[in-house]
Structure 1
Amino acid sequence: MTHRFTLRVYYEDTDLAGIVYYANYLKFIERARSEWIRSIGVDQREMKAEEGLVFAVRRVEADYLHPAKFDDELVVETVTETVTGARIILKQDVLRDGEVLFSSHVTIVCLTETGHPARLPANIRLLVH
């Protein structure tokens, strides 16, 4: 299942040349992951309050292929690649008119509120498959 999140590039997202500043792609994929998590029925505030668990990014591999520019409409596609007892690996691509501009693999883990690693809850493992 592919989750799609649409966004517009604003002036604040760009550098002096009108090209998206490289770190902003990480913000774009973060927003898309938050919406993806919500779309599968996980309430992160509830997970923290009831189970004392939060999601954290453990690793990001990123390839910058083509520049996005001011006023572009972008789509972030999120696909689950791997789910284990301790991690979720997602493929997240940023596209403009079907062309991949930025491609990434993101490893997500669960942490306790004190920052210690924790297993992914079984219900979440089932939801993200």
Structure 2
Amino acid sequence: MTEAPHRLPVRIYYEDTDFSGVVYHANYLRFMERGRTEFLRTLGVDQAQLTDESGQPLAFVVRQMTVDFLRPARMDDQVIVETLLGAQAGASLVLDQRILRADEILITAAVKVALVGGGRARRFPPALAAKISARTASPSMAEIALK
């Protein structure tokens, strides 16, 4: 059974749009960042408190991203940012994301994030790995797109 995606509602405001009234492309990345943060929060991951076993701070950073801009969102639209775990490796995750307006897909993205600490990639600490592994990984378009 495939896990249901995490869903984050976002209202489009004037500040999110360009002169033509459509969402400026970089703002979709902000919306997806919020979606990834809230997805991790549902797993019990507090990114501000993320450390390894020795107490060294850790952080997730975007390593690779493939984005397909299909349709524009406009001011006052209510959109949903969906986030789903696509794949897990020792120090990285691939997350599949979509932005939808009702049932209409506006954006699809495959985002590979790496866990880093002290300037280099770090394997997931056991407690974090267990939280992530508890989610059912879905068949991922990201696994193909990011190879």
**Structure 2: stretches of 5+ with no match in the other structure:** 136-147
Identity of aligned residues (%): 40
1:40 to 39, 43, 48: 43
Report the RMSD for the aligned CA atoms in angstroms.
1.3
Q: Is 1:71 the equivalent of 2:45?
A: no
Moved over 6 A (4+): none
TM-superposed CA distance for 1:125, in Å, is 2.3
TM-score normalised by L of structure 1: 0.93
Amino acid at match of 1:117: A
Summarize the alignment of residues 1-129 of structure 1 with structure 2, pairs less than 5 Å apart.
1=3, 2-48=5-51, 50-112=55-117, 114-128=118-132, 129=135
TM-score normalised by L of structure 2: 0.82
Q: Provide the aligned length of Structure 1 versus Structure 2.
A: 128
Asked if the contact 1:29/1:76 (under 8 Å) is kept, the reply is: yes
